[in-house]
Amino acid sequence: MIMIVAEALVKKGCTEQFIKAAAPCIAGTRQEAENISYDLLVDTSNPCKFTFVEQWVKKESLDQHTRTEHFKAFGAAIKDLLAEKFVINAYDAKKL
């Protein structure tokens, strides 16, 4: 299993637009066959910082996700909303 933790810092005043743009991507991703979970969280100390926490059956599942229309549309919709580039970390989700 693969786990992704992706952090986005959104420009001040753009958080509602970011959430609105994320909604179709979240809904579409949760329908993908090999998606285990896909959640968007907001930082409790910084309302402009968002974190996606994702679990995928395997790396190929994640690769396929990045080719979906909902993923591409989300990326296009938020390109001007981000204060910084996404920070994306991938993990082997085997529990140690």
Output the domain CATH number for residue 54. Answer: 3.30.70.100
Range of the domain at 21: 2-92
pLDDT in tens, 12-68: 999 999 999 999 999 999 999 999 999 999 999 999 999 999 999 999 999 999 999
In this prediction, residue 92 has a pLDDT band, given cuts at 50, 70 and 90, of very high
Task: Judge whether residue 94 has pLDDT over 90.
Answer: no
Name the domain count of the chain.
1
Task: Report pTM.
Answer: 0.91
Q: Which value, to the nearest 10 degrees, does the dihedral of the CA atoms of residues 51, 53, 58, 63 take? A: -30
Task: Please report, for the chain, how many H helices and E strands are present, in that order.
Answer: 3, 4
Looking at the DSSP bridge assignments, the partners of residue 7 are 51, 87
Place of tokens 């989700």: 93
Angle at 37 (CA atoms; ends 34, 43), nearest 5 degrees: 145
